[in-house]
Structure 1
Amino acid sequence: MAVTLLITLGSVATAQESGSYVLGPGDRIAITVFGQTDLSMEFTLSDAGTRNYPFLGEIVIAGMTLPRLEQRIADGLRGDYLINPDVSVSITQYRLFFINGEVNRPGGYPYQPGLTLEKALALAGGLGPRAATDEIVVKRASKALSAAVAIEMSEAVHAGDVIDVPQSFF
């Protein structure tokens, strides 16, 4: 069964498709600097996509991958503050994806790695009796231009996606 996927041509879609999760507003992130409890923190990334970090000031986090953020913090702390900082960044909770329309429980759900359209529909309680399964549209969260492509139910859904299941008229 093919459905239409509205994708963006921006860096978020490209990075997620290549297997590198890109951080964005709504992600809950834990930063650990081993041996430095005052530099370790957990927070939810704001809509601005930035965070004030000790000694480094405001850091733009949205659009970064976990390894890139680890490197940015380690490089910033190295030298003046620490000799060889050991930094670990992890996601404690992914941002939501949204599903609305002809499903049994529309709403926002936490993204999970490996999420497919079929699994997303199952999280929402399955398709409603009037769902137009051949017209499902997935919109990617980005400011870039968009294009539509047909996908299978087994293809990926990403954090921040909005899935719309329209009503069938027949």
Structure 2
Amino acid sequence: MTFLYKKGIDSMLRFLLVFCLVVTNVTEADVVDSYKLGPGDLISISVYGEDDLSLNVRIGSSGSISYPLLGDVWVLGLTTKQLEVKLVNGLKGPFLIDPSVTVSMLEYRPFYVNGEVKRPGSYSFHPGLTVDRAISIAGGFTERASKNKIFVERNGVSGTDERGESAKKSVSLKDAVMPGDVLTIEQSFF
């Protein structure tokens, strides 16, 4: 009887582990799909069968891109899927009958690390980045760094408060870092 009880608990633990892994993967995919474009992002726009309309472009500080046939197209704050729809709607009718547009990320805008790290500066973002990994990329903590006083400022597209201003909040080492984030590591008093 004890053997069957123990085997049931092992099965339940395996189920919970698999469930957590599935939920984690869905969450990461959702984050990538909901990522909002901003200045510094490099995107690829492909239009099937129309090489002249396919290009790689970096989004400038204006929040728009110059696109053939459509001129300046506002992309700031859009997801790649929303930009695809916008381009299809712009090209459909006067220029193409049924355009097939794909927008993909080539390079995310950088994130920044300030304060008590060995090499403060800007760094290339990669999906799945956490605060502890970002600090490692910046050379690790200095001797004076506080591991409990770490803040992130999400500017513009990634996060603002109710007044539209940058939101600065305390984070832990396991929290996610987003493109454009500014991490600040404060000094420890002891």
Coarse TM-score class (shorter-chain normalised):
0.7 to 0.9
Q: Give the letter aligned to residue 145 of structure 2.
A: A
Structure 1: 4+ residue segments shifted above 6 A: none
Cross-structure match for 1:47: 61
Q: Which residue of 2 aligns with 1:162?
A: 182
Q: Distance in 2 between matches of 1:162 and 1:105?
A: 14
Query: 1:35 corresponds to which residue?
Result: 49
The amino acid of 2:73's aligned partner reads I
- Aligned pair count reads 154
Shift of 1:152: 2.7
The normalised TM-score by structure 1 is 0.84
Within 1, Cα distance between the matches of 2:168 and 2:111?
A: 18
Task: Quote the offset at 1:100 in angstroms.
Answer: 1.2
> How far did residue 151 of structure 1 move?
3.5
| CA shift for structure 1 position 33 | 0.6
Name the amino acid aligned to 2:53.
L
Root-mean-square deviation (CA), in Å?
A: 1.8
Q: Which runs of 5+ in 1 are unaligned?
A: 1-15
Aligned to 1:133, which of 147, 153, 157? 147
Which ranges in structure 2 are unaligned for 5 or more consecutive residues? 1-27
The TM-score, its normalising length taken from structure 2, stands at 0.75
Which of 52, 67, 83 is the aligned partner of 2:81? 67
Q: Distance in 1 between matches of 2:167 and 2:54?
A: 40
* Identity value in percent: 44
Alignment of 1:1-170 (within 5 A): 19=31, 20-142=34-156, 144-145=164-165, 149-170=169-190
2:9 maps to what in 1?
none
CA distance in 2, matches of 1:146, 1:169: 27
**One-letter code aligned to 2:82:** R
Change in 2 beyond 3 A, CA 1:81/1:43: same
Separation (CA, whole Å) in 2 of partners of 1:76 and 1:147: 34
Higher helix share: 2
The offset of 1:101, in angstroms, is 1.2
In 1, distance between residues paired with 2:66 and 2:167? Answer: 35
| In structure 2, C-alpha distance between the alignment counterparts of 1:168 and 1:123, rounded to whole Å | 21
Residues 39 and 147 of structure 1: CA distance in aligned 2, closer, same or farther (over 3 Å)? closer
Q: Distance in 2 between matches of 1:99 and 1:148?
A: 14
2:45/2:104 contact within 8 Å kept:
yes
Ranked by relative contact order (alpha carbons within 8 Å, sequence separation 6 or more), the top structure is 1
Higher Cα Rg, which structure: 2
Contact 2:125 2:178 in 1 (8 A): yes
Q: Distance in 2 between matches of 1:28 and 1:166?
A: 32
Q: Distance in 1 between matches of 2:90 and 2:166?
A: 36
